[in-house]
Amino acid sequence: MPIALLRIVLGLLLLVSTGTKSAGEFEQWCIADEQTPDDELQAGIDWACGKEVQIVARFR
């Protein structure tokens, strides 16, 4: 009986220690081509997300 209990405890410990996914770890991200003009990027964002989202900055 103690060996079975030990196996259960070790199994539970393994499950708890695996952790959870962090924010954004398994999400899809889209990165635009740096040659794309801002108006085309904004049109794509408006289509996908609605008019509330604006291009804040362009990273190069």
The total number of structural domains that make up the chain: 1
Q: Is residue 43 in some structural domain? A: yes
Q: Is residue 5 in some structural domain? A: no
The pTM assigned to this predicted structure is 0.38
Would you give the DSSP letter of residue 36?
S
Judged on CB neighbours under 10 Å (0-12, 13-18, 19+), 49 is exposed
The alpha-helical segments, DSSP class H, found in 18-55 are 38-49
Q: Is residue 33 in some structural domain? A: yes
Q: 45 near 32, Cβ under 8 Å?
A: no
Q: Is residue 41 in some structural domain? A: yes
36: nearest Cα among 28, 44, 26: 44
Q: Is residue 46 in some structural domain? A: yes
Query: Which domain does 45 fall in, by range?
Result: 26-60
- At 10-55, the pLDDT tens digits run 887 777 766 666 665 666 667 778 888 888 888 887 777 776 655 5
Q: Is residue 57 in some structural domain? A: yes
